[in-house]
């Protein structure tokens, strides 16, 4: 015990930072390593066009992963987010084509996202149906409904001012601003807002949270409502980045979003993780998929690589925790 105490006192601030944000550092390190290695093999990887493609083209995944992190930290899961984003993007495009004011086309999908997921959260919290069941149901309803209504047609001819994702400020595409600002705001909110803290507490120990005077049901609904908001923003970025909206569900989007949260350090058991981690992980995916192209590797390998990445990061995380548990006990 005494020995452990001495060791602990000698540990530097950096190592403590690493203990608290280990997973985030691992992901950041991986991103940097990728840039260095792939950039050395093929310098065009670091070209302006490709960087825009990596950061801007995948920002909507990072934004969706913020909401997913909230849900997972609360101790739940949402497998329907990909379908929801598909539906919301279609709504945005349709409103724009039908001639509604642009702000309506931007605002309504976000509102619908919040309403739908508030309902989902209420089913989970108050009807006590496991989240995996509710969202599996939502996945089918949204996916089936979307195909039935639109027939999978492409939406085109949106007015030019609709394409918010193609706008630039100081040369940087708008989606990057969305990603960075929302991530920073949410990181701050989760650390310093009472409600953010409640999300960690409910996911970490629901009974203790209840005994401490929090309302776990309300926290769950709130987490899902916010998740709906982020899904709405993600849908907007997704819908406006190209000239067409394919009114189907982007394949495997929900898995990519969940994977980003988990690789970013959000514990699938709830209670731990940060949105900084999930955003970094979403950027890491984008880097990997782009790197595969530049290294002339078939895009089909992307899924396999992501799968390996999940296993590797979870193993690394467990090893890190075990080391700290062994050395850090007082």
Partner 1 sequence: MSALIELSGISKSFASVRVLQDISFDVRAGEVHALLGENGAGKSTLIKIMGGVHRADGGEMRVNSAGVTFASPRDASAHGIAVVHQELLLFPDLTVAENIFMGHAPRTKWGALDWPQMRERARALLDRLQSQHIDVDDRVGALSVANRQRVEIARALSQDARVLIMDEPTASLVEEDVQQLLSIVRMLRDKGVGIVYVSHKLPEIFALADRVTVLRDGARVGTAPIGELDERKLVSMMVGRPIDQLFPKQETKIGVPLLELRKLAFAGVVRDVSLTLRAGEILGIAGLIGSGRTETALTIFGITPATSGEILVDGKAVSIRSPQQARDLGIAYVPEDRGLQGLVRPQSIQENVSLAVLKTLAKGGLIDARKEEQLAKDSIAKFGIRARGPRQIVKQLSGGNQQKVVLAKWLATEPRILIMDEPTRGIDVGAKSEIHALMSALAARGLGILMISSELPEVLGMSDRVLVMKNGTLVAEFDRADATPEAVGAAMTIANASGEAA
| Among residues 71, 85, 201, 280, the one that binds partner 1 under rule CB under 8 A | 201
Burial profile 228-262: b = 16 or more Cβ within 10 angstroms, e = fewer: bbbbbbbbbbbbbbeeebbbbbbeebbebbbbbbb
229 binds partner 1 (CB under 8 A): no
Which positions from 3 through 42 interact with partner 1, judged by CB under 8 A?
8-9, 16, 20
198 binds partner 1 (CB under 8 A): yes
151: left (phi over 0), alpha (psi -120 to 50) or beta: left
Distance from C-alpha of 179 to C-alpha of 52, rounded to nearest angstrom: 13
Please state the closest distance from residue 190 (CB atom) to partner 1, in A: 11
Which positions from 309 through 328 interact with partner 1, judged by CB under 8 A?
324-325, 328
291 binds partner 1 (CB under 8 A): no
| Among residues 14, 211, 299, 311, the one that binds partner 1 under rule CB under 8 A | 211
Which positions from 98 through 137 interact with partner 1, judged by CB under 8 A?
none
Nearest residue to 85 (alpha-carbon basis) of 282, 255, 254: 254
Kindly indicate which of the ranges 29-37, 96-104, 116-124, 212-220 contains the residues binding partner 1, using the contact rule CB under 8 A.
212-220
Distance from C-alpha of 300 to C-alpha of 291, rounded to nearest angstrom: 13
* Residues 6 or more apart whose Cβ sits within 8 Å of residue 79: 132, 135, 136, 139, 254, 258
Question: Which two tokens mark 312?
Answer: 């590797």
Q: For partner 1, which is the closer residue by CB, 110 or 214?
A: 214
Q: Summarize as ranges the residues that interact with partner 1 (CB under 8 A).
A: 1, 8-9, 16, 20, 192-195, 197-198, 200-201, 204-205, 207-215, 267, 271-272, 324-325, 328-330
């Amino acid at each position: 015990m005494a020995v452990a105490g001495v060791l602990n006192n000698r540990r530097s601030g950096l190592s403590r930072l690493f203990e608290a944000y280990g997973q985030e550092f691992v992901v950041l390190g991986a991103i940097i390593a990728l840039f260095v290695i792939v950039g050395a093999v093929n310098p065009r990887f670091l070209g302006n066009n490709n960087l825009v493609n990596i950061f801007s083209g995948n920002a909507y995944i990072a934004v969706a992963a913020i909401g997913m992190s909230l849900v997972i930290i609360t101790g739940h899961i949402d497998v329907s987010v990909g379908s929801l984003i598909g539906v919301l993007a279609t709504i945005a495009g349709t409103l724009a084509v039908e001639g509604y004011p642009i702000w309506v086309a931007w605002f309504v999908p976000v509102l619908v996202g919040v309403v739908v997921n508030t309902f989902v959260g209420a089913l989970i919290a108050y009807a006590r149906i496991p989240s995996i069941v509710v969202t599996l149901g939502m996945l089918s309803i949204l996916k089936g409904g979307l195909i039935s209504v639109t027939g999978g047609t492409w939406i085109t001819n949106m007015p030019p001012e609709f394409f918010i994702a193609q706008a630039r400020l100081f040369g940087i595409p708008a989606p990057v601003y969305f990603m960075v600002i929302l991530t920073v705001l949410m990181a701050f909110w989760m650390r310093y807002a009472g409600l953010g803290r409640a999300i960690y507490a409910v996911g970490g120990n629901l009974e203790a949270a209840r005994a401490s005077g929090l309302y776990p049901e309300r926290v769950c609904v709130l987490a899902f409502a916010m998740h709906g908001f982020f899904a709405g923003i993600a849908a907007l970025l997704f819908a406006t980045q190209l000239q067409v909206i394919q009114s189907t569900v982007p394949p495997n989007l929900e898995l990519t979003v969940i994977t980003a949260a988990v690789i970013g350090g959000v514990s699938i058991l709830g209670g731990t993780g940060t949105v900084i981690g999930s955003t970094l992980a979403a950027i890491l995916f984008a880097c990997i998929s782009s790197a595969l192209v530049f290294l002339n590797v078939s895009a089909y390998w992307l899924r396999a690589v992501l799968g390996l990445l999940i296993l590797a990061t979870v193993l690394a995380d467990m090893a890190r925790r075990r080391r700290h548990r062994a050395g850090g006990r007082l």
